[in-house]
Structures are given as structure tokens and as C-alpha cells.
A and B are shown apart, each in its own frame.
Chain A
Amino acid sequence: MTVRNATFERPMAAGLARSSRHDAPRVAPWVLPLILVLGLFYLYPVFDVMRLAFMRATLLANDGTYTLSTLIDTLSRPELAQILWVTFVFTASSVVAQQVLGLVIALVVVRGEGRGLFGTTIVRTTALVAWVVPGIAGGIIWKMLFNEAPFGGLNSILRLLGAAPVQWLSDPDLVMWSVVLSNVWRGTAFSMVVMYAALKAIDPVLYEAASVDGANARQRLLHVTLPQLRAAILVNMILITIQTLNTFDAIISLTGGGPGRATEVLSLYTFNIVFRNYDLSVGAVLSILMLAISLGLALVYAVFLPKGDE
């Protein structure tokens, strides 16, 4: 048996070897352009940022020497702790709110579609409108709404209702939540789309079985829907966390990071260091810090991702 198998397998193995030898020269022309593009447009800038982080390069001068002082000086800057805290509050609040709201809207839309209700497409489209608005434009729209002048958008409505005006942007304790609100408005649609797609992929048989077992709506949500959405939720969390960490366009047009540094997140701080202070090396260190935070969070989420056999 063994001998027969061995003789039977030998020609196959030989054939495979011949085939791989034959295919090998044809793989490189296909892969090489991809490697070149990735190397040139993705890896080279990353290496350049790494190189700059160990120099003292500004837009005005670069003595070409390598040093650890930029790294040490940057990470020991007194304002960095506050910047990181502001970034944490902004990112955590935005991610949680976008995830929850995106899931709620997707559940409502899927349930509405299941019942054949009118308007589900309108709800989906309306949510997506906010998503396609560029960040700068979104910031300007919210700046008009939050304007604290007597003719400002939201305060005018509050006055009509007899309520006192709110210091949306000038109160250092409130301004962060105004910025989070504007970011959640813009980012919820993405979560809604991901959750909607994941909800549609759940096998209806699971719900039928749950109903047969007498599960109510809350139990179906907790024991069928959410476990089935686990992978989608975690992937969505990774994506929106990285997206939120990199957000600065909406903030720069809404508050510019102020008042003071009340809404200056890490990405905006990095932008200011490079474009206001012209310091390429400090900007590079901060960019690497952002990369490390994003990768770290992605790894944490990845640990909770269901494995193939789950």
C-alpha cells in the first residue's frame, strides 16, 4: 500500500516541481509593479519619517546628523499629556457613539425593511449624506450651527423655545462634546453601513430557531444578533478608531484646536508642529507615535476577533 502510494505520488510531485519551475519566471512581472508601488508610495514615506524622527530637521535647516534628542524632547514636552488626553476623550467618545448609533440605525432599517415599511431607503440615504460631506465642510457647517452670536443656528432655536443660549465652543468644558457631536454626525453613517451589511448576512434560520425556543426581542438581540455581529463590530471599531485618530480637518475648521488647547488632538498638534512651527523632526516623532497608537489599538481589537473555528 505504502509502496503503491509512493510510486503513485512521485510523478505528481515531479509534475508540481516542474510546474513551479515553469511558473516562477512569470510571477515576478506581475508582483514587481505592486512591490514597487507599495515601496515607493507607502514604505518609502514611512522610512523617511523614521529617518527624520532621529534628526533635527526643520523646513529651514537640516544639519544631516542623527540624534535621539528629538525623540526625547518631543516625548517629554509638557503639553503632550494634555494633547493625548484630549485625543483619548475625542476618540473614545466618537468611536463608542458612532458604533452604538450606527448599530441602532442599521437595526431600525433592517427591521423596517423586514416589515416592508416606507422610508427605510430615505433613512439610509440621509445618514450617508453626512458621510460624503468633506471634513472641512462639515466643520464649517457645525461652526455655523454652534455660532454663539445672537444669530447662531442652534442658539437661535433655543431662544425660540425660551431656553438660555449655550456656550457651545467658548466653554472649555463643553467644547469637546460639541466637537464629538459633529464628528459622530459625520462618522455614524460608516458604522451604519458596516452594521447593515453584517445584519443582512445573519442566517434567518437562527432567528426562527430562537423564536421557536420562545426568545423575546431583547433575548434575540443579546443572544443571536450581537454574537453574530462580533466580528463586524470589532472590524468596524478598528477602522473607525484609526479614522478618528487621524481626524483633524473637521476640528481645524470648527475650533482650530481651541480655545487654548481644549480640542487640540494629536493629529492637529502634529499638523501645527509641521505647518506652524516648520519642525519636520518633531512632526515625524509625533507621526510615529500616532502610528504606534493605531497599531496598538488594532492589535488589542484583533485579540478579540473570533478565530476561524469559532
Chain B
Amino acid sequence: MNTRILTLLSAAAMALPVSAFGQDTITGDTGGPPDAPNKLVFRMTSDGPRNNDPVLAEGYSKLFNAFVANHAGWQVELQMMSGDISQEQARMLEQAKSGNAPDCAAVDSFVLPLFKKSGVLQSFSPYFKKEEIDQLFPFIRDGVTGADGQIYAWWWSTDLRVLYRNTEIIPDAPETWDETKKAALASVEKGMEGILFNGGRYEGTTFDWLANFWGQGGKLVDDAGKPIFGEGENREKFIKAVNYYRDLVESGAAPKRVATIGNYDDFNAAAAAGTSALFVGGNWQYNQLKTVLEPEELAKWTFSRLPGPTKDERSTGTGGWTVAAFSKDPAKVEMCANLAREIYMGPANELQEQLPTRADFYSTYKIFSSDTNKAFGEALKVGQARPGAPVYPEISNQIQIMMGKVLTGAEATDAAVDEAFKASTAAFGRL
């Protein structure tokens, strides 16, 4: 009897997912009729129905439901990436090389060159109009275009780094490195921690800091993708930018713990706890601050462009996400392009207030006409994407190692920079 009950319970448990698949809705795993003759496997980040924010999750569910409703005969299976993006992207590249990649996937813009170089992506050119492609910002268009002139992904969102400050403690926006140091020291005198930034073993450490190098006109790699940041003028600019961060820590303008920070959430936490009045963060954090701060506290916070060695030598790093197709089936490639267009190119930007990559969307979508988003759009004018070189991830890794040594005072800046350059050059030789 007990065995029979157990068998029935097991059968019922096994049937549960089947009934969930049977619904014509996005369940978090699958959308569309289960008997649909075609199926598209899409691997996504949290930019989808499984977003931790229930409002965004619901918004994405609606978009995906509308998408499957528009494409009769198709079912979409959703796969979720973990938070370790570098590892996820490397694994996906390995899967693609062995022919086991999903049909369609979110590819981080900074590893897109690797995917393009390895020849695993399918061309999107037949599925996007010239007018749509022409509307892309130039650095975005360059990023998705292959050596043959075809586009191999649709880069739908971008972001940038800005300097957040509590205006009650720091009324004026620092525009230069010196002003930033003075403002941070003034905040320390008022009981704050000083300026916070990523300084741990984390991609954000490299990317947020690179603006200080780029602002001076520094170049990480040459046209062939070979590291050159440790040679000639580039080396001088590089060391100058590293010493800016080093000086912030050694002068007390930044706490030593910046060498351990590898997460933008730490800045939100410090803002919420009222322990910091100045941090280098991403544009998306403005919306996050709205949720973690009381309205009267939020009113004290604003942002400005990242400072440079002089007012005229400023830059900011721009990243973002793309959608790309791995499938060799043209119908699935087209469906992937449709998904990029109908869900991500515009609707998802609006839903998540993620900056669009098409210039016309800043007027098409009302939300991007707000003062905040206009200011972000203005800062994008000095934006710079990470170099489209396969060696970039290793350069970034070496910069993170170098930054840890410098910020903790474990090694002289010159020596640490030279080590990073030597290791990056060696990695280039092997790729």
C-alpha cells in the first residue's frame, strides 16, 4: 500500500513540471505551446522573467508572452546564467566551439570580440535594416561588426560610470583628480569613509578605473590587438592614473578597504548606511538608490561625470549586453534576431531604464528624455568601450592584480605596472 502511495506521489511530482510546460505562458523556463514544431533555446542573464525585482520579472514575462504569441509555431526555452559572468561566457564559448551552445544567447559586450574571432556567431545582417544599424552609436556599431562587414550581434543596452556624491556633504561636483581628493578628504573630516571605488579582483575594478587612463588619451592595445599600455607615453599615462588611485588611499581620501571591494552593491550599502558621500558607480545604480534610500535622503544624492587629471581630460567606460545567435539553422537565427528586436531593442531598455544604443530612442522613448537620462546621455559622449581585442580579459585580470598590489602598498607602482604589461604581452602571444 505504502509503495503504491509512494509511486503515485512520485508520478504526481514528475507530472508537475509537465503541466507547467503545458501552459501557454512564460513560466521562467519555457514559453509557447508545448507541441510547437519549432523551439528556440535562449540563454539569458537576469534581464528576463527571472529578474529578482518582481516588477521587472513581470514586465519581462509580458514581453516574452507577447513575443511567443506573435510567432505561431515557436516555443522559447529560457536558460539562466549564473552571476559569474566571465565564467559563464567562457563556458558558452567552449560549448559553441564544440557545437553545444544554445541557439541564441546574451553575450557580454566585452567578450564579443572573442566570440567573433572564434567564428561561432551567425550573421544578423539579413535581419536588421540599414536604418536600424545606422542609428547605433559608432562605438556600438564597430563592436558588433565583423571583419567581413556583417553584424554578428545586436548590442541593445549600454551603461557608463559616473561619480555619485551626497550634495549635503560635497555640494560641488569634483571635475579634476585634485578636486576629488580634496572633496573626499573633506568628507572624511565629516566622519565619512572617503571616496569608494572597486579595487578588488573584479572586472569593475579595471573598467571603472580605465576612464582615468583613457581620459589622458592612453591606449591599451594597438590596431592588431597587441598590448601597448606599458610602452612609451602610454606607460607614463598608465602609471599616472594608477598613482591617482594610490594617492587617494595613501592620503586617507579613500579607505584601504577599496582594495577588497568587488561589487557595486557595496556602494549602495555605504550610501544607505550614511558612511560614504562619494563613490564611482554605474548609471544603473541611480535607480537602485531610489529603492534603498528614503526620498529625503535620495534628494541629497546626485551624480556627475568622472573627473580627470584636468577638466578637459575626461572619459568614462561604456559596456552593455548583446544578443547573438549560435544556431546554424537560419530559421532559428532569424527568430533570435526577432527576439533581440522585439524584446530587447527598445522595450527592455524602457522597462529597465537601461540606456539604449540607438540615438533615436532617446527621443522615441519618453523615459530617456528625463533630466537624469539626458545627463547620462551627455556623459556618453566621452564614453569609451573596452578594446575589441581577444587579449582584453587577461589585460583586465592583470590590472586587477596590479591594483591590489598598489593599493595595499605591497609593491611600487612602476614595478607592478611592468609586471602586468609583461604578463599581458605573454598572454597575447599565446592567443
**Chains A and B form a bound pair:** yes
| Distance of B280 from chain A, by nearest CB (Å) | 16
- Give the contacting residue for A258; candidates B193, B390, B400; CB below 8 A: B400
- Give the contacting residue for A262; candidates B87, B93, B394, B404; CB below 8 A: B404
- Give the contacting residue for B427; candidates A56, A258, A279; CB below 8 A: A279
- Are the C-beta atoms of A149 and B397 separated by less than 8 Å? no
Q: Interface 1/0s, chain A 152-174, versus B by CB < 8 A?
A: 00000000000000010111100
Interface residues on B, range: 35 or more
Please indicate the chain B residues that have their CB under 8 angstroms from the CB of A61 in the complex. Answer: 118, 431
- Are the C-beta atoms of B404 and A260 separated by less than 8 Å? yes
In terms of DSSP, what is the predominant structure of the interface of chain B? helix
- Are the C-beta atoms of B260 and A148 separated by less than 8 Å? yes
Interface residues on A, range: 20 to 34
- Are the C-beta atoms of A170 and B260 separated by less than 8 Å? yes
With contacts A149-B270, A151-B275, A274-B90 known, is A167 near B256, CB below 8 A? yes
Whole-angstrom CA separation of A258 from B260 in the bound complex: 7
Q: Interface 1/0s, chain A 273-293, versus B by CB < 8 A?
A: 011111100100000000000
The verdict on A96 contacting chain B, using a C-beta distance below 8 Å, is: no
Please choose the segment from B162-170, B356-364, B407-415 that sits at the chain A interface, where 4 or more of its residues have CB less than 8 A away: B407-415
- Are the C-beta atoms of B266 and A276 separated by less than 8 Å? no
Please indicate the chain B residues that have their CB under 8 angstroms from the CB of A59 in the complex. Answer: 90, 93-94, 97, 114, 118
The verdict on A150 contacting chain B, using a C-beta distance below 8 Å, is: yes
| Distance of B106 from chain A, by nearest CB (Å) | 17
Most A CB within 10 A of own CB, among B87, B393, B401: B401
- Give the contacting residue for B256; candidates A78, A148, A262, A279; CB below 8 A: A148
Please indicate the chain B residues that have their CB under 8 angstroms from the CB of A172 in the complex. Answer: 408, 410
Q: Interface 1/0s, chain B 92-122, versus A by CB < 8 A?
A: 0110010000000000000000100110000
Whole-angstrom CA separation of A194 from B262 in the bound complex: 37
Please indicate the chain B residues that have their CB under 8 angstroms from the CB of A171 in the complex. Answer: 256, 408
| Total cross-chain contacts (CB, 8 A) | 117
Task: Please name the 6 residue pairs, one residue from A and one from B, whose CB atoms are nearest each other, closest first.
Answer: A256-B201, A259-B404, A260-B404, A148-B257, A260-B405, A258-B201
- Give the contacting residue for A260; candidates B393, B396, B411, B427; CB below 8 A: B411
| Distance of A145 from chain B, by nearest CB (Å) | 13
- Are the C-beta atoms of B394 and A277 separated by less than 8 Å? yes
Q: A260-B401, A276-B396 are in contact. List 15 more A-B contacts (CB 8 A).
A: A59-B90, A59-B93, A60-B390, A149-B270, A167-B256, A170-B258, A259-B405, A259-B408, A260-B405, A262-B410, A276-B86, A276-B90, A276-B393, A278-B393, A279-B430
- Give the contacting residue for B410; candidates A78, A255, A260; CB below 8 A: A260
Whole-angstrom CA separation of A277 from B87 in the bound complex: 11
The verdict on B387 contacting chain A, using a C-beta distance below 8 Å, is: no
The verdict on A102 contacting chain B, using a C-beta distance below 8 Å, is: no
